[in-house]
Amino acid sequence: MSKEQAIVKKQAFEAEIGKMWKIMQKMTPEKRAQFVQQLDEGMITALRSYSNPYKKPVFIGDRNRYLAFSVINLTEKYCQRFAMTSLIGFLYRMLDEFSPAAAKNYISENDPKFANLYNAKIKQLTASKPEQLLTEQWNALKTEIEAIKAELKDDPNTADKRIVVKAKVKESFLVRAKIIKYKTYTFNRELDTLKDNQNYLQMRLQATKHEIKQLTELKDIFELKLKKRLEYDAKRKTIESSDLSRVEPKFGSSFKSSDLSRVEPQETEKSNVSYHDEGDELDDEMPALESAEPEYIDDPSLPSEDIDENGEVRNLKNTLTIQDVNQPLENFYKVIENKTKNIEIVNKRLLTHETEFNERATKLETLEKNIKEYKDRLSQLKTEYDQIFCVGAKKT
């Protein structure tokens, strides 16, 4: 039997079961009981399973029952989970307490013994640095060479001691070369680390300067808009002269009428500086419009911060707009005050970065001088070695 035939047969059987269920619903309880007794168990199960997907009533005699497809024994399920949880906890505890014989040679990192051994090793390594060991070896060689030279003064004909002192001098050259190379290696490692830190600090400096530039531009924009707003309100006779005197210390006592004309935006690194400076975490946005503000002013001579005919947002950051006219004056003062405080904070941070940058630059210069000095020392040491041993070997 193909798959399509099986589907057709199943649909026909379901249609037959549906017809039987409708007939049973119209029967009286007595006739329904007689009808059910004539059916076999498979048909009864199929009838109930098909007709009870949402707990429809099953008619048994004169009473209605509900079909339950499955029953979950919660007591049994909880007992199983409790037993499994207990078994897992027991196994974990046994594994924690179990210690194989082969593991006795290894100490756990959480054991205080491990910490004691680790600290002892670190202390030993700190006490026996390569530079310190090489310096001690060099001092010991100098002492031995001087002692042998003193003996040669008393008995200059001793050939064995001359051979010994020559070997000691060669060894001293090697030790001195190792000291110089180790110091050069240490300085180079420190120099690389400082250069990486200096590059990162330079990026921080550039970002801080850019932040100051953005804050200053935004502060200038709000000051210019405040100036134009006060002039606009003065012309409409909606503010008193005290408001004008409040802004005179910042902008001067005289305002030019040409300032009311449209000011084209200046070219900056980021020309998309928003009105509310949403990207600046230090700055607060323009406060919400207060309910006590006068009625809305719709002046056709003022532009609106909306989308133009081409679907682009108009760049009116230096121009007095309808939205600016309908904002409370206190909002402008608050934003300018916040920008001023933020500029002071960022300037202090910039000063700290510049001080740290200059200190590291001085340290870099010192390290570069030390590296050059030790390279010159190594060259002198090689020249001295060639003069003593190579030239002497050619003569002999």
For the stretch 260-319, pLDDT in tens is 333 333 333 333 333 334 334 444 444 444 434 444 555 656 666 555 555 555 556 667
Contacts 24+ apart (CB under 8 A), 272-276: 273/214, 273/217, 273/218, 273/221, 273/317, 275/305, 275/317
For residues 139 and 235, membership in a common domain is answered with: yes
For residues 176 and 28, membership in a common domain is answered with: no
For residues 235 and 344, membership in a common domain is answered with: yes
Average pLDDT, rounded, for the chain? 74
Answer whether residue 318 is part of any domain. Answer: no
What digits encode the pLDDT tens for the residues 188-209?
888 888 888 888 888 888 898 9
Which backbone phi and psi does 337 adopt, to 5 degrees?
-65, -40
- The strand pairing partners of 64, in sequence order, are 59
Q: Residue 14: is its pLDDT beyond 70? A: yes
Q: Residue 255: is its pLDDT beyond 80? A: no
Which pLDDT score, from 0 to 100, does residue 81 have? 93
Q: Are 174 and 129 in contact (CB under 8 A)?
A: no
From 56, 82, 98, give the residue that closes a domain: 98
Which pLDDT score, from 0 to 100, does residue 308 have? 54
- Measure the CA–CA gap between 220 and 268, rounded to whole angstroms: 13
CATH of the domain at 210: 1.10.287
- What distances in angstroms separate CA 172 from CA 134, 149, 163, 278, 307, one per listed residue? 10, 15, 14, 68, 83
Which backbone phi and psi does 45 adopt, to 5 degrees?
-65, -45
For residues 234 and 334, membership in a common domain is answered with: yes
- Residue 3 corresponds to which amino acid? K
From 98, 116, 139, give the residue that closes a domain: 98
Answer whether residue 192 is part of any domain. Answer: yes
Lowest-confidence pick of 37-41, 58-62, 77-81, 347-351 = 58-62
Lowest-confidence pick of 72-76, 250-254, 364-368 = 250-254
Which pLDDT score, from 0 to 100, does residue 394 have? 45
Residue 358 burial by Cβ neighbours in a 10 Å radius (0-12, 13-18, 19+): exposed
Arithmetic mean of pLDDT, 78-90: 94
From 98, 120, 140, give the residue that closes a domain: 98
- Measure the CA–CA gap between 114 and 93, rounded to whole angstroms: 22
Answer whether residue 75 is part of any domain. Answer: yes
For residues 332 and 200, membership in a common domain is answered with: yes
Lowest-confidence pick of 39-43, 45-49, 348-352 = 45-49
Total structural domains in the chain?
2
Answer whether residue 16 is part of any domain. Answer: yes
Instruction: Tell me which of 156 and 65 has the higher pLDDT.
Output: 156
Q: Which residues of 218-231 are buried (b: 16+ CB within 10 A; e: fewer)?
A: bbebbbbbbbbbbb
The dihedral built from the CA positions of residue 115, 116, 119 and 125, taken in this order, carries a sign that is negative
Sequence-separated (6 or more) residues with CB below 8 Å from residue 213: 268, 269
- Residue 280 corresponds to which amino acid? D
Could you tell me the pTM of the whole model?
0.42
Q: Residue 218: is its pLDDT beyond 80? A: yes
For residues 201 and 334, membership in a common domain is answered with: yes
Q: Are 91 and 81 in contact (CB under 8 A)?
A: no
Q: Are 339 and 285 in contact (CB under 8 A)?
A: no
- Residue 249 corresponds to which amino acid? P
Which pLDDT score, from 0 to 100, does residue 284 have? 45
- The 3-class secondary structure across 149-216, one letter per residue, is HHHHHHCCCCHHHHHHHHHHHHHHHHHHHHHHHHHHHHHHHHHHHHHHHHHHHHHHHHHHHHHHHHHH
The structure tokens listed for 235 are: 């012309």
Arithmetic mean of pLDDT, 146-154: 78
SS3 116: helix
Nearest residue to 222 (alpha-carbon basis) of 312, 346, 351, 343: 343
Nearest residue to 16 (alpha-carbon basis) of 35, 42, 43, 38: 43
For residues 222 and 368, membership in a common domain is answered with: yes
Answer whether residue 314 is part of any domain. Answer: no
For residues 143 and 217, membership in a common domain is answered with: yes
Which pLDDT score, from 0 to 100, does residue 151 have? 77
Confidence class for position 33, pLDDT limits 50, 70, 90: confident
Neighbours of 175 (CB within 10 A): 20
For residues 228 and 137, membership in a common domain is answered with: yes
Confidence class for position 183, pLDDT limits 50, 70, 90: confident
Which backbone phi and psi does 284 adopt, to 5 degrees?
-90, 150
Which pLDDT score, from 0 to 100, does residue 93 have? 92
Domain limits for position 18: 1-98
Which pLDDT score, from 0 to 100, does residue 262 have? 37
For residues 158 and 227, membership in a common domain is answered with: yes
The percent of residues above 70 in pLDDT, for the chain, comes to: 69
Answer whether residue 273 is part of any domain. Answer: no
For residues 132 and 229, membership in a common domain is answered with: yes
Instruction: Tell me which of 49 and 395 has the higher pLDDT.
Output: 49
- Measure the CA–CA gap between 176 and 186, rounded to whole angstroms: 15
Answer whether residue 62 is part of any domain. Answer: yes
For residues 40 and 174, membership in a common domain is answered with: no
Answer whether residue 374 is part of any domain. Answer: yes
Nearest residue to 386 (alpha-carbon basis) of 184, 182, 177: 177
